[in-house]
Structure 1
């Protein structure tokens, strides 16, 4: 016999599987409680706790590094202010000479 074109599923060999019986039970659902709104004080306290945790992660410079960096900043500010003072005086003299 030629099996082409014939349905190869034999109803005698098919097994019907039904889903297992599920016992439905009713569980009362309580009303969801609304989350308590945080006050400004609660939010502030939470913020400060988070700040404390973050500050523990910071690598602080040593006293020597801090003094060295401060000295560099003061020297650079002095040099730049001296330069700008000289340029300002020069331009002021140039403007005076042009206006005479």
Structure 2
């Protein structure tokens, strides 16, 4: 019994494409449309930015004030903490070196 060749997709038969199949390589390549200019690109970018900005959920004034206050308190706390640690380490180094 003769062995049959299988194609890549597993179908039995000839391993090559039929002779009457169109060949993409011989077809003339159509030129791609020209890329838009810088002005058109900027306009498209600006239009898309406006669309995206409309999707944003902005915080209320109360939420903005509350989160800003929380950040300010945290910054003050961390500044004091790091200042005290720095002062302590500098005194420790000074004591070691003297």
Alignment of 1:9-20 (within 5 A): none
Q: Distance between the aligned counterparts of 1:79 and 1:62, measured in 2?
A: 26
Partner of 2:51: 53
For residue 77 of structure 1, the aligned residue among 70, 75, 78 is 75
In the superposition, the TM-score normalised over structure 1's length comes to 0.65
The number of equivalent residue pairs is: 70
In the superposition, the TM-score normalised over structure 2's length comes to 0.66
Where in structure 1 do 4 or more consecutive aligned residues deviate above 4 Å?
none
Q: Distance between the aligned counterparts of 2:32 and 2:88, measured in 1?
A: 72
Shift of 1:36: 2.9
Shift of 1:35: 1.4
Structure 1 stretches lacking a partner, 5+ long: 1-31
RMSD between aligned residues: 1.7
| Structure showing greater relative contact order (alpha-carbon pairs closer than 8 Å, 6 or more residues apart) | 2
- Cα deviation per residue 1:51-92 (whole Å; 9 max; x = unaligned)? 100110111000110011000001001101100000000000
Shift of 1:33: 6.7
Over alpha carbons, which structure has the higher Rg? Answer: 1
Alignment of 1:98 with 2:96, yes or no, is yes
Partner of 2:40: 42
